[in-house]
Chains A and B, each alone.
Chain A
Amino acid sequence: MTIKPPVGDFATDWDHTDPQWVANPYPIWEDLRGRCPVAHTDRYGGGWFPSTYEGVAAVANDTENFTSRTVVIGNGRPGEDAPPAPIGVAPPISSDPPFHQIARRLILPAFAPGPVNALEPQIRELCNHLLDEMGAGLDINAGDDFAAHIPVWVIAKMLGFPDEDRDLFREFVHIVLEGVDEPQEQRIVSFQPVLDYIERQIEDHVANPRDDLTSYMLNVELPNGDKLLPEHIFGTIILTLIAGIDTTWSAISSSIWHLATHPADLERLVNEPELMPLAVEEFLRFYAPVSMARLVKEDMDYLGCPMKKDDWILLGFPAANRDPAVFENADQFIIDREVNRHVTFGLGIHRCAGSNLARLELRVALEEFIKRFPKFELSDPAAVTFSQGQVRGARFLPLTVLN
């Protein structure tokens, strides 16, 4: 990790990898909403951070003025080396209209509620298997030994990648999402094993086609009858691997962290399991893991700010979810909140394609976890860690099971 000067004022120098932001970003966002609803930074080559629901929604819905060709902020401006719109490096998340819709329609059926809900019994079985393995001991690590495994298993199954490579995927995710403040040259070196691995999996699927998303991408045709370009297939696989794992893992682990630190909510959920659907939406709102990025297409004044071509926009969906202009008692976790128009899965054409899957995994994981452990607390609150970068969630989560 590079040594960076600490942030003095987040309004003019924000940094989403700053230790203060990583540890507890919510007071920072609340402060910004009050005095500087679109913050600026010169870091990362220059960028903007809208902290209100209104600002986030405006950018998310504006594909004329902003491009998705890079959605993870890195060091420096993407410049000429970034893969061009409209396809981008990981379609459809990195694609702009009109190609975006074509790429998205290809994968949506695989992530629609029908096929996704069919996975519920297997996810439940997996959760119970993980809980069995955690044993009857009093000390457990709910992050590494439970939350992390669930999306890794689900994504490996969807892509048709070998089960035994699951630890590798977690490492890949870490390289892509948490290494954002490494120098660009180092990132390219770190990324090579990911590319090699996926290349080998694609070759194996070409030789041995089967019923999974990888074989589907290899066989499917675009509306004009063309097969997908190799870089398109590759990009969508990377997207599924990266976007499907860290995110859901974070949602599960942060929700368990909440229950460990709010015994009244835990007790209520154990006693009133019918509350789970509302609770899941509130966990999603309150602990939304994902912020996305956009790039400014051309110099312009927008939301009162002098934006320059290729400036980053950090799209803080988690910040929008805490905006009191839209949510009553926005800074309070209300387990049975009924009106909850959260934007955890984004807004507009880039709505998280895996949202049905994520919601299912979160619900089943929490149901099985609290069934097995109806009472627990943090064994060492100071030891809990949160991930840095654009996906926020509890990582090291040591718990003590109570009687």
Chain B
Amino acid sequence: MKVTIDAARCQGQGRCFGIAPEIFDFDDLGNGVVIGDGIVDDEELKSKARLAQANCPEHAINIEGN
């Protein structure tokens, strides 16, 4: 699974790094960023990534693969 954030959509709602701090961090403006290359293998973390995606009000999180 590869997780990315669409920076043009992200408005810094803060849900992703609240739900899955192992995958998401924030920048100086408080916008979400993906840690590292965004590749997630661990099953538990994958479900956290999906949960973050389902909670993002701006629909800014993209997930490729499963």
Query: A183 interface residue, CB < 8 Å from B?
Result: no
Judged by DSSP, the binding face of A is helix
B contact set with A: CB distance below 8 Å: 11-15, 17-18, 26-30, 51, 54-58
Q: Mark A106-127, 1 if CB is under 8 A from B, else 0.
A: 0011011110000000000000
Complex Cα spacing A281 to B54, Å: 13
The 8 A-B pairs with the shortest beta carbon distances in the complex, nearest first, are A112-B30, A351-B11, A108-B29, A339-B54, A113-B26, A109-B28, A343-B57, A341-B57
Query: A83 interface residue, CB < 8 Å from B?
Result: no
Contacts of A112 in B (CB 8 A): 12, 26-30
Count A-B contacts at CB 8 Å. Answer: 54
Name which residue of chain B comes closest to A110, CB basis: B30
A339-B58 in contact given A351-B12, A355-B14 (Cβ < 8 Å) = no
Query: A348 interface residue, CB < 8 Å from B?
Result: yes
Complex Cα spacing A374 to B56, Å: 32
Name which residue of chain A comes closest to B29, CB basis: A108
Name which residue of chain A comes closest to B27, CB basis: A112
Cross-chain contact B51 with A108 (CB below 8 angstroms): no
Query: A349 interface residue, CB < 8 Å from B?
Result: yes
A141 vs chain B, min Cβ distance (A): 31
Cross-chain contact B58 with A347 (CB below 8 angstroms): yes
Cross-chain contact B30 with A356 (CB below 8 angstroms): yes
A105's contact among B17, B26, B29, by CB below 8 Å, is which?
B29
A355-B28 in contact given A277-B18, A341-B54 (Cβ < 8 Å) = no
Query: A338 interface residue, CB < 8 Å from B?
Result: yes
Contacts of A240 in B (CB 8 A): none
B57's contact among A111, A114, A342, by CB below 8 Å, is which?
A342
